[in-house]
Amino acid sequence: MKKLLGKLLKLVLLANVALFIVFFFDLDGKLLFNVVEPFLKKHYDDMERKDTMKSPYDIDKFPKYEYQ
């Protein structure tokens, strides 16, 4: 039990140190800026989109919704 607790404590400590390094050196920001955002941008740029200009504009489709 003591050994397990010791191991758990070490693991928590290690996780804290690792997370602090990510935080302090802005590694999350660097990953998002240099890898994630360019990847997602490329995905969005390549995405096939509906040509909204070709959708009909039927202005009389719905009533005027006027109430007294």
User: Footprint of other proteins on this chain (CB under 8 A)?
Assistant: 19-20, 23-26, 28-30, 32-33, 36-37, 40-41, 43-44, 49-50, 52-53, 55, 57-59, 61-62, 65-67
Beta carbons of 8 and 2 less than 8 angstroms apart: no
Measured from the CB atom, the residue of 1 and 52 that comes closer to other proteins is 52
- Give me the least distance between CB of 5 and other proteins, in Å please: 22
**Four-residue CA torsion sign, 20, 25, 29, 35:** negative
Measured from the CB atom, the residue of 8 and 18 that comes closer to other proteins is 18
Residue partners of 28: CB distance under 8 A and separation at least 6: 22
For the chain, the distance separating the N- and C-terminal CA atoms, rounded to the nearest angstrom, is 76
- Give me the least distance between CB of 14 and other proteins, in Å please: 15
